[in-house]
Amino acid sequence: MRKFFNAAVLIPLGVIFVVFAVANRHEVTVSFDPLNSQDSALSLTLPLFLVLIAVAILGVAAGGSATWLSQRRWRRAARHHEADARQMRSQLADLRASLAETQRRDPGLPAAIGYRRDKQGATL
C-alpha cells in the first residue's frame, strides 16, 4: 500500500517537474546587489526553473528550521518528563523489591500490605 501511495504521488510530481523544467528553460539574471543591479560580479545567469526550484528548497528549509526551533520548548519538556518517568519507574522497582523482601522475611504479613481499598473498590 505504501509503495502504491509513493508511486501515486511521486510519478505525477516527477512529470510536473519535467514539464515545468522544459517550459521554463530560458535564462534569467539574478542580481544580489540591491544598489547596482547591472554589476555582473554579484549576479548569476541561470535557467528560470533552477531559480524557482532553489527558492522553493530554501523556503522549505527555512520553514522547517523555524518550526524545529519553535518546538524547542516541547522537546525540552518531553526530555524532562521522560527523566521523571524513568526515575519513578526506578523508585517503583525499589519499593516493590523492598515489599517483596519484607514479605519474605515475615510471611505472616498480608500479601497486599499497603494496598487498601475504599467503599467503591478504588486503591488507596
Distance of CA 36 to the CA centre of its chain: 42
What does DSSP say about strands 43-47 and 27-31: parallel, antiparallel, or unpaired? antiparallel
**Residue 109 pLDDT class (50, 70, 90 cuts):** low
Does residue 112 register a pLDDT over 60? Answer: no
Does residue 115 register a pLDDT over 80? Answer: no
pLDDT in tens, 18-33: 888 888 888 988 888 8
Does residue 114 register a pLDDT over 60? Answer: no
Task: Report the mean per-residue pLDDT for the chain.
Answer: 85
In the chain, where the domains are located: 2-31+40-70, 73-106
Does residue 86 register a pLDDT over 70? Answer: yes
pLDDT in tens, 34-72: 887 777 778 888 999 888 889 989 999 999 999 999 999
Give 119's Cβ-side CA count (13 Å radius). Answer: 0
What is the pTM assigned to this prediction? 0.57
